Amino acid sequence: MTLGLLDLILFSEKRKDFLLLLKEGPKDIEETLEKLQVPRTALLPQIKKLREEDLVIREEGMYRLSTIGEIVVEKMQPLLDTLSVFEKNEEFWANRKLAPIPPHLIRRISELGDYRLIEPDLSHTFDLNQEFVRNLYNSTRIQMFYSYFHPQFPALFLDLARKGIELSLVLSEAVYLRLVEDFKEKGKEFLKMENSSLYILEKEVEIPALVATSNRIMSLGLFNESGRFDRQYVISFEPQAIKWGEDLFKYYRGMSREVRIK
């Protein structure tokens, strides 16, 4: 082989797209050109390189993946999905503390899928993001970990619980103490509800600012490298992202103790 396979695949969108297309099954050149929407003169030299590296075979006018090609493409897809997550907002991810995400979930970061980055609205600096709140109200169950205090959270959580939404919270100890000191009555009412539960994180570990997941949305807030939370959130509505968020929430709940009303 004359080229490194990573260079061969990743440094050409045409080669990458052609390999991913062949993952669906053999294709002739006309179907390939139609689906990839590229000129014949631009694609054929790239196919030639893939054939020279024994990734693609041409038989009776049809192109298909070789055995090596099948193995490479199978392993290539998760890498491309992971790169897509980080490349979508490179500056955001480069400046975040990723240590709060455990290794088994970092390896699954591609499950965030087609997420969006929500940035604070300067005209509503002290308000919760309305899209985030709206989706919580349209949910039937919510699981949330948070380690920064927002004065609107206690009233929001109580109102959600009053509406019958199943709500489970994990708080850092500092946030819990603030809740007990400043919002004691709301906290007591919340704990009395059968559809609510509250946990306090006990282990000293690196933590995110917020992990929220419901049957509709997943939201993730991470502290930046300076240790500040600048109220930028990742949100995703994709089922695999919601499952990813649930698993991250359960990770922190597993290190917490439940608070019960006395």
CATH code of the domain made up of 5-80: 1.10.10.10
Residue 76 has pLDDT above 70, yes or no: yes
Residue 2 pLDDT: 42
* Dist CA 217 CA 166 (whole Å): 15
**Stretch 128-140: mean pLDDT, rounded?**
86
DSSP character at residue 128: P
Over residues 238-247, the pLDDT tens digits come to 999 999 999 9
Range(s) for CATH 1.10.10.10 in the chain? Answer: 5-80
Maximum mean pLDDT: which of 73-82, 127-136, 229-238: 229-238
Q: Any residues with CB less than 8 A from the CB of 132 and at least 6 apart, and which?
A: 118, 212, 217, 219, 233, 235
For tokens 């922190």, what's the residue?
252
Instruction: Outline which parts of the chain fall under CATH 3.30.870.10.
Output: 90-259
What does the pLDDT average to over 62-83? Answer: 89
Options 3.90.1170.40, 3.30.870.10, 3.40.50.1100, 3.40.50.450; CATH of 90-259: 3.30.870.10
Whether 124 has a pLDDT exceeding 60, the answer reads no
CA–CA dist 96, 116 (Å, integer): 16
* pLDDT for the residue 1: 40
